[in-house]
Structure 1
């Protein structure tokens, strides 16, 4: 009898310990699933808020607000259908008509939904796998906890045409003593036949002022260092969606004017992308711009530069193509 007890008691202890460990693991999995659902709900709610802001901006049908409200208030059993409807409405928004800051906020909200949904579904998968084990089912170790469910909605691509990367940039119309503008000649790494001329300038860094960005880019790309009071503008604003090296960008470009007594250009400050894609630079007169068959950005440069040279800047920032 004693021998039997020595065998049975340790086995019972081991079994009880295993059952407790399994129940604790299942409890932690349920907590993880609940937390993941709360995070997903928060991401969906933020997307609804941004969707209403998009509707208010006038770049989407008025129904977008109603769809966003419905998705946010829908009960759990109807939430997937409501959120999918909102996804379809947002996919149809003409993002090029939105302020760049709102585009960035919308892209961020959509990406957070994608990530939160994946985290939630991963948690559901792990919890269901544990609940399906025979011992868990036979001994009802899940208790009264409701069975978690996957949340299935269509996902926008994190990158690509569906969501162009927002890119604010500062550009400089650098003029020499003869009123000629400096342009660089570059190409698209994704398409060898896509070549073009463009002005000095580049992307604005996070938390950087656009004037500071213009002066920084001017110095990096030409070696010319100017003070803030030597920069005029922004005289123009250009909004364009374009593809470069296989990625889509939603660019908002701000153009300033600066004059320089020298035509010497030092490109030693080029970064790797500029070294790989820019092959020459040239000073262009307005007559040169009107007569060329090359692609020049902005496309209205030949038409607008003479007026800017003759009359100067009137203090108004104008939209250009």
Structure 2
């Protein structure tokens, strides 16, 4: 009887060990899949950064621009053993670029690409760490539970330094009615509720969106208006500002549109943030804008508005 108990106990132990070994092998397989997926995401993020870096190279002077383009090509096509120094060289070169001289849409795209590299690198590093930790266990090594899967490797690259100022390209619309009045919203910064100001419809340009598309989308979302035509951009405004405690490097592109006959302003498409920060809207005549003591952005709005009646096609910087 005792012998049978020993045999049964041994068999149960073998079953448990077998279950543990199968479970460990399956876990290793899932970790390798996770690591491969993380590497693919990191490789794609680095490739996108190289593409954006080439676009940046066209916006700066030829000598440093040519050098940046060469480094971007080298990083994108470097074999795995040479990838780390190539990517680090590109990171260092991008850090020397004066982004104030670039269009903000390109600055925003570069910042987004760099942010994605940081996230993808950390996700890949975590996946490699977890996989190596299991592969290095003695039992896993002795029984070769990893099979023929190659051991994953870290990609030791320096993370780009992200600016504290968030780049924010925006498209705005000067919307006029049949009497020549313009539509303005009255809002405030949630961090400074006592400081109110008036501004045109519009908002941030989304990834992959051109300025005209962004202007039409924002106008529809905020006013429900679909204009017959959109003219411009007529003005360009570069401004540093803060909102809700964050600092932004802003670039606003203003278009001109007319309210179609029979249309009315509908703000039911406001987001929760807009509902919380925009108190009212109204139509302003040019004379009212010149006479008001309230804050209106752009600062030169009242001064330059009459010139839009005979716009000559020139993009004008405004404050």
TM-score (ref. length: structure 2): 0.72
Q: Quote the residue 1:15 is aligned against.
A: 17
- The 3 A distance-change label for structure 1 pair 48 and 209 is closer
- Give runs of aligned pairs for residues 95-110 of structure 1, distance below 5 A: 95=99, 97-99=101-103, 102-103=106-107, 105-110=109-114
**Selected match of 2:164 from 161, 173, 178:** 161
RMSD value, Cα: 4.2
Residue 292 of structure 1 deviates from its aligned partner by 6.5
- The 3 A distance-change label for structure 1 pair 303 and 85 is farther
- The 3 A distance-change label for structure 1 pair 18 and 299 is same
Mapped contact 2:140–2:146 kept (Cα < 8 A): yes
**Selected match of 2:132 from 118, 128, 138:** 128
Please state whether the residue corresponding to 2:200 is helix, strand or coil: strand
Aligned partners of 1:31, 1:131: CA distance in 2, in Å? 14
Residue 130 of structure 1 deviates from its aligned partner by 0.9
Whether 1:118 and 2:122 are equivalent positions in the alignment is yes
Q: Quote the residue 1:170 is aligned against.
A: 172
Aligned partners of 1:34, 1:217: CA distance in 2, in Å? 41
Aligned partners of 1:59, 1:189: CA distance in 2, in Å? 40
Gaps of 5+ in 1: none
Q: Quote the residue 2:198 is aligned against.
A: 197
Aligned partners of 1:55, 1:29: CA distance in 2, in Å? 39
Aligned partners of 1:33, 1:266: CA distance in 2, in Å? 52
**Selected match of 2:84 from 74, 80, 84:** 80
Whether 1:320 and 2:317 are equivalent positions in the alignment is yes
Residue 44 of structure 1 deviates from its aligned partner by 1.1
Mapped contact 1:96–1:240 kept (Cα < 8 A): no
Mapped contact 2:188–2:277 kept (Cα < 8 A): yes
- The 3 A distance-change label for structure 1 pair 39 and 255 is closer
- The 3 A distance-change label for structure 1 pair 101 and 268 is closer
Residue 56 of structure 1 deviates from its aligned partner by 1.9
Aligned partners of 1:243, 1:97: CA distance in 2, in Å? 21
Q: Quote the residue 1:244 is aligned against.
A: 243
- The 3 A distance-change label for structure 1 pair 67 and 211 is closer
Aligned partners of 2:48, 2:206: CA distance in 1, in Å? 25
Aligned partners of 1:110, 1:246: CA distance in 2, in Å? 23
Aligned partners of 1:56, 1:120: CA distance in 2, in Å? 31
Residue 268 of structure 1 deviates from its aligned partner by 6.3
Pick which of 267-276 and 83-92 moved more: 267-276
* 4+ residue segments displaced more than 6 Å: 204-208, 265-268
Whether 1:50 and 2:52 are equivalent positions in the alignment is yes
Aligned partners of 2:267, 2:24: CA distance in 1, in Å? 64
- The 3 A distance-change label for structure 1 pair 123 and 116 is same
Aligned partners of 2:160, 2:165: CA distance in 1, in Å? 7
Aligned partners of 1:74, 1:218: CA distance in 2, in Å? 47
TM-score (ref. length: structure 1): 0.71
Q: Quote the residue 1:304 is aligned against.
A: 304
Mapped contact 2:171–2:215 kept (Cα < 8 A): no
